[in-house]
Amino acid sequence: MPDDSVKRRRAAEEAAQAAELEAKAALKQKRKEERLSAAAAELEEAAPKRQKKEKKQAVEEPGEAAGTGDDEAERKRLKKEKKRKAAEEEAADEAELEAILARKQKRKEERLAAEAAELEEAEPKRQKKEKKQAVEETAEAADLEAAEKAKQKKKAAELEEKLRAADLLEANRKKKRKEERQAVWEAAAAACGDTTVVAEVAETADWDWEAPSKTRRGKKKSTADVDAAAESNSFQNEEVVQAQEATPVQMISPKVYAADNRDACRVLFGSLQPEVTEDMLREQFDYCGEIQNVHVIKDWEGYCKGVGFITFADTDGVSMALAANGTYFRARKINVSIATPKEGKGSGKDKGKDKGKEKGRGKGPGHKPAGCTGIVVKQLAFTATEDDLRETFKSCGAGPTMVKLLFHSDTGKSKGLAFVDFAQEGEDVGKSVVEAVRLSGNILKGRPFYVEYN
């Protein structure tokens, strides 16, 4: 940069001038010391001669004493002359030093003027260069931002295209299923006028259409087209549908209604896509039968955590839904099983998992003890309050008479456990307790809770 070179040159010149001044001052001091030394030596050399001469004049005749005065005047004159010469030499040295300082000051002023002119000339160039660099940096940042936005837009478009394709395939499948159902119905109606038989034939056709491609436990599916469909996210093409028709639906017997046993009519759906909503889940499995409740577990951002629950009106809907285990929903293979509530802590690797096995599951509410007037509510959301529990169980008979929510003594936070009592003097509250137990598995504050007899 111009500023750095000017500063370096200025520092070098100042150092050279300082060295020159020091050398001249040292020379002047040396000359002065030499003059003083010469004068002292001359006086010392002349002193013995003067003393000898004075002694000689003292023994001479008185007539010669008059000459002594002349010699003394001559000595004074010589001494005065030496002082004058020394003063002249000193004045000349001072004049020379002043001339040197004046030349130095003049050179310094000239140098400063040249540097100022150089800086004034270089300033526009420097400003122009900095402005150019700023423009280039701004353009580069704008290009990077535009590239990033284009990349994000492309990714969003690709995701939207995939979802659109998935929705289209799903719509085509439903349309085809509806057409085949209608064809079966019309064929049955043409062959038999009995509406009951026609309904049974149509229902059987629906089951055959929705049958999954199950195999025996421990063995993989042998249909390569199903795996290919999973890899390409084409989860409902013709090959997958054909593979799903390999095994018929097995109905649960005897038939149970949700009004009698809600847990037996509740199904767990796993491995769901993050964008799945309760409406999507309801629409996907509405063919299974009447749906009483749909719940999707979501994270704090509102996206599905991969788990959802559907409560059907009876176990026929459960059987239809279980047949969809291993099929594809929105480009992902899903797991379907009965959502049996877990009331115990479980043990080993099965703790906290729902794999359709009995190990680690609770035993359910069991039989109602004689004289039971209350229930125990477990696995409550930590944000649930006693007022929330009263509101939840108010439809059970005359409602609860006592609600006790347990808290940790050290932190004051809820334990997720509560006792609810329906006891009323002179009244049988057994029906209220049974109705409360049937609410086991419902959602409160975003979390399913489970009920046992107390």
395-454 pLDDT, tens per residue?
888 889 999 999 998 888 999 999 999 988 777 788 888 889 988 888 888 888 999 988
Helix (H) or strand (E) holding 283: helix 278-284
CA-CA distances (angstroms) from residue 156 to 234, 301, 343?
A: 19, 18, 43
Rounded to the nearest 5 percent, the helix, strand and coil shares of the chain are 55, 15, 30
pLDDT at 336: 92
Residue 256 lies in a domain: yes
**Are residues 293 and 398 located together in one domain of the fold?**
no
**pTM greater than 0.85:** no
425 token code pair:
């003097």
pLDDT at 297: 92
The residue from 283, 318, 339 where one domain ends is: 339
pLDDT at 198 over 70: no
Instruction: Select the more confidently predicted residue: 409 or 366.
Output: 409
Mean pLDDT estimate for the chain: 78
State how many domains the chain has. 3
Instruction: Select the more confidently predicted residue: 396 or 45.
Output: 396
Residue 350 lies in a domain: no
Helix orientation angle between 2-59 and 66-191, rounded to the nearest 10 degrees = 170
Residues ≥6 apart with Cβ < 8 Å to 447: 379, 380, 381, 384
Q: According to DSSP H, which parts of 192-220 are helical?
A: 195-210
**Are residues 121 and 43 located together in one domain of the fold?**
yes
**Are residues 277 and 400 located together in one domain of the fold?**
no
> Which amino acid appears at position 397 of this protein?
G
Helix (H) or strand (E) holding 306: strand 304-312
pLDDT at 244: 44
pLDDT at 67 over 60: no
Query: 207, 316 in Cβ contact below 8 A?
Result: no
pLDDT at 310 over 90: yes
**Are residues 331 and 435 located together in one domain of the fold?**
no
**Are residues 13 and 89 located together in one domain of the fold?**
yes
**Are residues 385 and 333 located together in one domain of the fold?**
no
- DSSP-assigned letters across all residues of 98-114: HHHHHHHHHHHHHHHHH
Helix, strand or coil for residue 316?
Answer: helix
**Are residues 10 and 99 located together in one domain of the fold?**
yes
Tell me how far apart the terminal alpha carbons of the chain are, to the nearest angstrom: 88
Residue 174 lies in a domain: no
The residue from 136, 151, 167 where one domain ends is: 136
Residue 11 lies in a domain: yes
Torsion angle of alpha carbons 298, 299, 303, 305, nearest 10°? Answer: -70
Give the confidence band of 391 by pLDDT, cuts at 50, 70, 90: very high
pLDDT at 188 over 70: no
201 token code pair:
């034939």
Range(s) of the domain holding residue 125: 2-58+74-136
The residue from 136, 165, 188 where one domain ends is: 136
Residue 295 lies in a domain: yes
Residue 434 lies in a domain: yes
pLDDT at 446: 81
**Are residues 420 and 322 located together in one domain of the fold?**
no
pLDDT at 3 over 60: yes
Edge-first strand listing for the sheet containing 450-453: 402-407, 414-421, 374-378, 450-453
**Are residues 379 and 263 located together in one domain of the fold?**
no
**Are residues 131 and 30 located together in one domain of the fold?**
yes
Between CA 120 and CA 285 the distance in angstroms is 82
Between CA 234 and CA 142 the distance in angstroms is 39
Query: 209, 180 in Cβ contact below 8 A?
Result: yes
- The CATH number assigned to the domain holding 437 equals 3.30.70.330
pLDDT at 227: 46
**Are residues 7 and 129 located together in one domain of the fold?**
yes
Residue 31 lies in a domain: yes
Bridge partner residues of 448 (DSSP): 443
**Are residues 23 and 112 located together in one domain of the fold?**
yes
The candidate with the shortest Cα–Cα distance to 174, out of 137, 223, 210, 139, is 210
Residue 196 lies in a domain: no
